[in-house]
Structure 1
Amino acid sequence: MPGCIPRGASMGARALVFYCGLLLTIGAFSVDITLPFFTPMRAHFGAGHAAVSATVTLYIGFIGLGQIVFGPLSDRFGRRPAIAIGLVIYLAGAAIALVAPTIEVLLAGRAVQGFGAAVGPVVARAILRDLFSGPKLAQNLAIATGIFSLGPILAPLIGVAIAEAGGSWRSIFVGMLGFGGLLLAILARAPETLQQRRSDALQPAGLLRNARAVLAHPQSRHFLLLGPVAQCTMLTIVAGTPRVYEHEFGVTGTLFAVLFALHGLGIVIGQTANHRLIARLGPVRTALAATAVMIGACSLIVGFALADALTPYRLSFFVFLFAIGFLIVAANSAAMTLDPHGPIAGFTSSFFGFVSSAVGALFATLIVAATHGRALAWGAALLAVCVLCALALLSWLRRPAPAAHGA
């Protein structure tokens, strides 16, 4: 239950959970708003699909790298200072991308931006662990992840609105500067939730000791390893769908953005169900049910592709179904990893985020590059990753050891 917010604070627990949701959104917002501009960016820079797709995967990869820093930093100096530093770096990266004269400079700006954006998910999860534990942690992380879905819904539509108004691809980075500034303004009202700062949080010996503590815990170790698998599914959707829609159906621009935005509704439905089902089934069985939905959606993509009956509208519906599940797996894996480690929540969130983002981005990049926008190959690769998720969850439920709290 909430217990770390000082009396008289200008922001209560519910508002702080909402702010954590906005912090989680920074990643999706800064990716999805770019999707309608993939074709204009290729034309402007004379770059190929792989180079422009790298503006997504590189950004996500550096989010993973940044989380190595911001979790321990927030354990040492507090959640609020870490958020402020990260947002300033994010804004600097957006400014570099805004004025980029070449694709290489654009990618450099996205790397800087991703490094700063890492503060969003890693410190948001740490704040939630400061406030909650057990099933309440998983439930409130589900609420924050539901708020996160505003990014996938609104960002592509904002991108379309910018394009329809005659704005260039550079305009989207003005939008990112505005969003980052808004998060900084809200931070001024947010309370500090870290009760005890750890003086050794940034020391190599302390980092190593914390890593050993996380890896030594069976529950944390298992779901730390599941995190990249769940992240890979999400990144394969985000980075791969623009190429699939264009290659298979010639769909780009406004129509693509509208179709892609629909998958955000799936996230909302999924996290609403997640919040309720955790109380009945626990986070692991809820994640397993979500994985079954994901497997079903991938099977439909593969089946319709084999029958040469896949259309952009059917694909959009199947991605919507898939989206109901993938963030349930990711959010509940994060909660299961974090829950046993309240005193080092920042580090644990950092460790989980780095492994999930960096490894997930690597494999998603390989999948997108290898499938070349072919719906059948792309759907089959997603299906294989989802089956791996299901096997990992089943192995936890069937382990001989006593069930961990919340399983």
Structure 2
Amino acid sequence: MAFVKGGERTFYLGALMGLVAFSIDVILPALKAATAHYGVPEAQGGLLVSLYFLGFALGQFLFGPLADAFGRRPVLMGALLGFLLAGSLTLFAPTFSLLLWARVFQGFFGAAFRVVATAAIRDLYRGEAMARRLSQALFVLLLAPVLAPSLGVALLPLGFRAPFAFPVLLALLVLLWGALRFGETLPEERRRPLALGTLWEGLLLVLRDRRALLYTLALGALFGVLYAYLSAAPLLYGRLGLSGLGFALAFGGTGLLQALANLLNGRTVEGLGLARSLRLSFLALLLALAFLPLTALFPSALGLWLHLSLVLFLVTLAFPNAQARALEGLGRVAGLAASFTGFFSTLLASLLATGVGQASRGEPVPFALGLLLLGLLAFLAQRGAEA
């Protein structure tokens, strides 16, 4: 069973990535109401985001080897079922602790969507072609920050659980679509048995690839900027007078710029080449972050939004190219390589973003300084990878 057209395949893989993003962005307007319902401090609402990322990191380490051994399709279908069950638990969790555990497992199963999508693209493309396909898939993903917060605000009058229900419905639709149309991209002769020796051999191939390791570090720092923004945005914009619909519009506007970055990236890679595009995007990101603390010294909602939107635009421009570069020499173990880079970059990003969030507590200047450190780390790792 296979897709009739490559465009449908790319759109479906983008929808998988978008499902992960919707699971985060649509609940952001409901964090305050959720903590109030369970009688816990408002600051603990951020755990519904950060613990999702923790489960997401752990799941990536498992699903890559499984997808290499059994194929992309069966692993994806099983993960979608697990995601549906965990998402359903968020709708009926009687305690905040159980809700947190449901989010961990939701992130765990959601990790398969990114691993399978990335590995499937790597099965079919490499180098600049892979970067273009990743950009196209990520364009679908970036509909989430544009639409999800406004959708969350619209659903909130139905109860704080209503935004949690949307990813469940979306996952059901993606499961049915995939069951009917998702074709296997990994032929049986290219599969790697799920054995300790095989896994160790594949892991050694990844560990010996200096470029893959350093780009994994760079991806962790890039994701750290994004995750710190996601966790801090409701509190940060709230301090500047943006809440409810205002927050949703600001968040969605940044998402539109990120979608534009993905549209531009394919042409940029074609015109400049993958290596040069990476150098320029990481340098531009560092420069943008270097001036962010100055904007944060005298913050206004519009000024900070514009500067953060530029930062996220550049992060989005750099991400698919860095991912493609990390996996370029690892086609033999694409699933394991996607798991390795995904697991360690996401785990690193979660730790870094939590550190920035806890240190800044929504204050603009400490938040900006934290992002600058992440940008410097990403820049140095990228330069080291290409040295």
Q: Normalised by the shorter chain, which TM-score bucket? A: over 0.9
Q: Identify which of 339, 349, 366 aligns with 2:338.
A: 349
Deviation at 1:295, TM superposition (A): 3.2
The alignment status of 1:179 with 2:160, answered yes or no, reads no
Mapped to 1, the partners of 2:221 and 2:143 lie a distance apart of 23
Q: Output the amino acid matched with 2:317.
A: I
The answer as to whether partners of 1:64 and 1:357 remain within 8 angstroms in 2 is: yes
Q: Output the amino acid matched with 1:334.
A: Q
Q: Identify which of 212, 215, 233 aligns with 1:223.
A: 215
Q: Output the amino acid matched with 1:295.
A: L
In the TM superposition, what whole-angstrom CA distance separates every residue of 1:162-210 from its partner, at most 9, and x where no partner exists? Answer: 12xx211201122111110111011021111111356654222211111
The answer as to whether partners of 2:211 and 2:326 remain within 8 angstroms in 1 is: yes
Deviation at 1:53, TM superposition (A): 0.3
Q: Identify which of 139, 160, 172 aligns with 1:169.
A: 160
Residue of structure 2 in register with 1:360 after alignment = 349
Deviation at 1:223, TM superposition (A): 1.3
Residue of structure 2 in register with 1:405 after alignment = none
The alignment status of 1:42 with 2:35, answered yes or no, reads yes
Q: Identify which of 202, 212, 215 aligns with 1:210.
A: 202
The answer as to whether partners of 1:41 and 1:169 remain within 8 angstroms in 2 is: yes
The answer as to whether partners of 1:61 and 1:362 remain within 8 angstroms in 2 is: no
Residue of structure 2 in register with 1:255 after alignment = 246
Deviation at 1:11, TM superposition (A): 3.1
Alignment of 1:102-141 (within 5 A): 102-141=95-134
Counterparts in 2 of 1:197 and 1:152: CA distance versus 1, 3 Å: farther
Deviation at 1:275, TM superposition (A): 0.9
Deviation at 1:282, TM superposition (A): 2.6
Counterparts in 2 of 1:230 and 1:284: CA distance versus 1, 3 Å: farther
What's the secondary structure of 1:118's corresponding residue?
helix
Q: Output the amino acid matched with 2:329.
A: P
Alignment of 1:2-21 (within 5 A): 9-21=2-14
Q: Identify which of 50, 54, 58 aligns with 2:51.
A: 58
Q: Which moved more, 1:166-175 or 1:325-334?
A: 325-334
Residue of structure 2 in register with 1:272 after alignment = 263
Counterparts in 2 of 1:255 and 1:83: CA distance versus 1, 3 Å: same
Q: Which moved more, 1:333-342 or 1:15-24?
A: 333-342
Mapped to 2, the partners of 1:327 and 1:206 lie a distance apart of 34
Deviation at 1:300, TM superposition (A): 4.3
The answer as to whether partners of 1:224 and 1:352 remain within 8 angstroms in 2 is: yes
Mapped to 1, the partners of 2:375 and 2:275 lie a distance apart of 15
Mapped to 1, the partners of 2:52 and 2:154 lie a distance apart of 23
Q: Identify which of 381, 384, 387 aligns with 1:395.
A: 384
Q: Output the amino acid matched with 1:271.
A: N
Cα-Cα RMSD: 1.7
Mapped to 1, the partners of 2:257 and 2:221 lie a distance apart of 20
The alignment status of 1:377 with 2:363, answered yes or no, reads no
Mapped to 2, the partners of 1:244 and 1:321 lie a distance apart of 17
The answer as to whether partners of 2:27 and 2:149 remain within 8 angstroms in 1 is: yes
What's the secondary structure of 1:93's corresponding residue?
helix
In the TM superposition, what whole-angstrom CA distance separates every residue of 1:249-303 from its partner, at most 9, and x where no partner exists? Answer: 2432221111111111121121122111112223343233223443344344311
In the TM superposition, what whole-angstrom CA distance separates every residue of 1:91-145 from its partner, at most 9, and x where no partner exists? Answer: 1111111111221111011011001101111100001011111210111111111
Q: Output the amino acid matched with 1:253.
A: G
Q: Identify which of 303, 320, 326 aligns with 1:331.
A: 320
Structure 2 unpaired stretches of 5+: none
Counterparts in 2 of 1:168 and 1:285: CA distance versus 1, 3 Å: farther
Mapped to 1, the partners of 2:193 and 2:29 lie a distance apart of 41
Mapped to 2, the partners of 1:45 and 1:287 lie a distance apart of 45
The alignment status of 1:76 with 2:69, answered yes or no, reads yes
The answer as to whether partners of 1:11 and 1:190 remain within 8 angstroms in 2 is: no
Mapped to 2, the partners of 1:295 and 1:138 lie a distance apart of 22
Mapped to 1, the partners of 2:42 and 2:359 lie a distance apart of 12
Deviation at 1:61, TM superposition (A): 1.5
The answer as to whether partners of 2:282 and 2:382 remain within 8 angstroms in 1 is: no
Mapped to 1, the partners of 2:230 and 2:213 lie a distance apart of 27
Structure 1 unpaired stretches of 5+: 1-5, 400-407
Alignment of 1:92-107 (within 5 A): 92-107=85-100
Q: Output the amino acid matched with 1:290.
A: S
Identity %: 31
Mapped to 2, the partners of 1:283 and 1:263 lie a distance apart of 25
What's the secondary structure of 2:188's corresponding residue?
coil
Deviation at 1:10, TM superposition (A): 4.1
Mapped to 2, the partners of 1:297 and 1:226 lie a distance apart of 17
Mapped to 2, the partners of 1:245 and 1:60 lie a distance apart of 22
